[in-house]
Amino acid sequence: MTMPNSTAELDRAAHLHPYTDARKLEAEGPRVIDRGDGVFVFDEQGNSYLEGLSGLWSVGVGFNQPRLVEAAAEQMARLPYYHTFAQKTHGPAARLADKLVEMTPEGLTRVFFTSSGSEANDTVVKMLWYFNNARGRPEKKKFISRLGGYHGITIASGSLTGLPWNHTDFDLPAIPVRHVTSPNAWQNARDGESEADFAQRLADELEAVIAEEGAETIAAFIGEPLMGAGGVIVPPEGYWDKVQEICRRHEILIVADEVITGFGRTGNLWGCDTFGIKPDVLVMSKQLTSSYMPLAAIAISDEIYQGIADNSARHGTFGHGFTASGHPVATAVALENIAIIEEQGLVANGAAVGAALQAELRRRFGDHPLVGEVRGTGMIAAVQLCADRSTRRALAPEGKLGGYVFERAHDHGLIIRNIKDAVAFCPPLILSEAQMHDMLDRFALTLDDALDWARAEGLV
């Protein structure tokens, strides 16, 4: 028997992939990405692709930043690993915690490290349960999340997530969580309903859910400032003001999931800055290290910290943590990544190129026969595909058109992501305006191919 020896053959024979149709992978094999250079990645055959989603919404500084490689190598040589249990620490973790307290919105005073956003949001659930027990409120344990929201895939964070494919046959949700309506106006606004009226209707729903569950049982409201994996959903004006007013009035904490939106994605350093959110907890990952190393961080208010600290003194320890919490190589890379973002003005670049991206997407594709809506903020956007803009009718089955566009884009040297029939863009923060136009030229060719295909199939 001939043993597989190419990367693709080895992968097809042995690797179970996340977010992949395993049978489709068996039949077709994987696309093997071999190297990166700036905003481009290259497959094993040498074909180049402009990475329009930054990998997974995450590579801010590009795919071959030598300073991050050097930071990792230097730290690996000095102290490749140490833990942060039992009062131990090391320089990179201490410096990064201090830097993040300085950078994050006012009122967040302590930082806890994990390796992923999923672990971080799982930890947030446990932290707030622990905090409320410490404060003598053992019944205050429920969470409010949104349909379409994405907060991870561990048992607790996957329960907070509001996407059906993350729940079906996984027996989730498995913690007490209520999912309220997504602030997706394309999908959920009623005919003739103004943006203000839509925001008010969502606020009224939140009030009703709190009344039904009892405010005394609800620990927190968790939300992405702008939804990413749910389709790049920009909340209606006034939405976050209303949500925060309601939660503050009912003593419900605000958890801002900035895993995608942090470090300049929305035109400001934080999505909280863009949408006027004052969080009690802020979760970050992805662009924290540009995903060169797995790392996430949770910034918490002093009130939450004091409750946790008191309870840890009562029990003799805070009984939670991971082998890699505050890993020295990961935290060293994060410090260098943040230095690059600051020194190269990448938040400002993201704001400027992002504004041009938003304008060009609307100008070039707003009237395309397959486009129902263009939406986004800063360097994150979505083109909503449909068969009929006037009725918002999807090309059946939903996701078929988006799937075609996703696949076809590779033929034009472009990697994007379809979320059903929403095509998402989230290019690296280093993207130049010329590269932005190149990206949209490639997308234009892809969309024209999709229109020809849909017409040939009799679908439009």
pLDDT tens digit sequence for 420-455: 999 999 999 999 999 999 999 999 999 999 999 999
What pLDDT is recorded for position 389?
Answer: 87
What is the chain's mean pLDDT, rounded?
A: 97
* Distance from C-alpha of 376 to C-alpha of 53, rounded to nearest angstrom: 14
What pLDDT is recorded for position 3?
Answer: 52
Q: Answer for the pair 129, 141: CB distance below 8 angstroms, yes or no.
A: yes
Torsion of CA 112, 106, 281, 68, to 10 degrees: -50
Residue 390 pLDDT > 90, yes or no? no
Residue 394 pLDDT > 90, yes or no? no
For 172-181, 221-230, 451-460, which range has the lowest pLDDT when averaged over its residues?
Answer: 451-460
Mean pLDDT along residues 382-390: 92
Residue 449, C-beta contacts closer than 8 angstroms, at least 6 positions apart = 408, 411
Residue 2 pLDDT > 50, yes or no? no
Mean pLDDT along residues 157-173: 97
Residue 425's nearest CA partner among 411, 436, 412 is 436
pLDDT tens digit sequence for 270-314: 999 999 999 999 999 999 999 999 999 999 999 999 999 999 999
Residue 330 pLDDT > 90, yes or no? yes
pLDDT tens digit sequence for 363-381: 999 999 999 999 999 999 9
Cross-sheet strand order for the sheet of 371-377: 371-377, 380-385, 422-425, 417-419
What pLDDT is recorded for position 4?
Answer: 62
The residue count for the chain: 460
Task: Read off φ and ψ for residue 188, nearest 5 degrees.
Answer: -115, -15
Mean pLDDT along residues 177-190: 97
Mean pLDDT along residues 9-36: 97
Instruction: For residue 399, give both structure tokens.
Output: 């996701």
Is the pTM here over 0.95, yes or no? yes
- Give all domains of the chain, ordered by start, each with its CATH number: 31-61+345-456 (3.90.1150.10), 68-343 (3.40.640.10)
Residue 1 pLDDT > 90, yes or no? no
Residue 267 pLDDT > 70, yes or no? yes
Share of the chain above pLDDT 70, in %: 99
User: Which residue's structure tokens are 């994605």?
Assistant: 265
User: How many of the other CB atoms lie within 10 Å of CB of 162?
Assistant: 22
User: How many of the other CB atoms lie within 10 Å of CB of 185?
Assistant: 20
* Distance from C-alpha of 428 to C-alpha of 63, rounded to nearest angstrom: 9
| pLDDT band per the 50, 70, 90 thresholds, residue 392 | confident
